[in-house]
């Protein structure tokens, strides 16, 4: 006799109570770090062939969005419920360049979660390829921060952002309960 499988339940954004989860949505996980592989596309480079400095923030946003998705939350769902996460502050420290077609690894980590704000930290690594004279020297990148899983990667940028939770009128509001519960350890 086969056991019936229970349907996965995801917490409601507003109340945190379980609701039926759509098939294929990941279950809430306790991990607060994500590493997202990204390939530098031609339109993201400047006339000198370097990854344009503004694209780092786009990559940070991509990783931050995937970090929420890993926990079963999407920005689209947050916005439908009236929770808007606006970037209040963003910092990027550029350590080394990236080039067209380079393979990058973008890391997003939740540093803290308060009543109305989330603070994330980011790192971007470039895959070190032997024989490539532009990349083989590391060009000032700090490799001492690369985790052991990421051997063969050169740290090229670090960043930090602060998101503020707003309502549809642009006023500060508390983060939804599902987010504060997921990340309550990160205060």
Domain region containing 102: 33-186
pLDDT for res 101: 93
Per the structure, how many domains does the chain have?
1
Q: Known catalytic residues?
A: 46
SS3 content of the chain, % helix, strand, coil (to 5): 25, 35, 40
| 3-state secondary structure at position 62 | helix
CA distance 74 to 139: 37
**Backbone region of residue 136 per phi and psi (left: phi > 0; alpha: psi in -120 to 50; beta: other values):** alpha
pLDDT for res 127: 86
Residue 70 lies in a domain: yes
**Above 80 in pLDDT, residue 7?**
no
Residue 147 lies in a domain: yes
Name the pTM for this structure: 0.73
pLDDT digits 0-9 by tens, 103-119: 999 999 999 889 999 99
**Above 80 in pLDDT, residue 62?**
yes
The one-character DSSP state at 7 is P
Residue 1 lies in a domain: no
Average pLDDT for residues 45-73, to the nearest whole number? 94
């Amino acid at each position: 006799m086969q056991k019936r499988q229970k349907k996965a339940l995801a917490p409601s954004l507003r109340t945190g109570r379980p609701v039926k989860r759509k098939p294929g949505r990941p279950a809430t996980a306790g991990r607060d770090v994500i590493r997202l592989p990204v390939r530098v596309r031609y339109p993201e480079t400047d006339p000198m062939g370097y990854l344009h400095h503004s694209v780092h923030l786009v990559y940070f946003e991509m990783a931050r969005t995937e970090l929420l998705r890993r926990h079963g939350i999407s920005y689209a769902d947050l916005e439908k419920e009236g929770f808007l996460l606006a970037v209040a502050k963003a910092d990027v420290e550029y350590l080394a360049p990236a080039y067209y077609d380079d393979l990058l690894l973008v890391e997003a980590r939740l540093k803290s979660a308060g009543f109305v704000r989330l603070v994330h930290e980011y790192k971007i690594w470039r895959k070190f390829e032997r024989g490539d004279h532009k990349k083989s020297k590391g060009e000032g990148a700090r490799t001492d921060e690369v985790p052991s899983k990421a051997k063969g990667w050169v740290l090229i940028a670090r960043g930090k952002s602060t998101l503020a939770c707003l309502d549809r009128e642009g006023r500060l509001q508390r983060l939804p309960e599902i987010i504060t519960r997921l990340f309550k350890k990160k205060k």
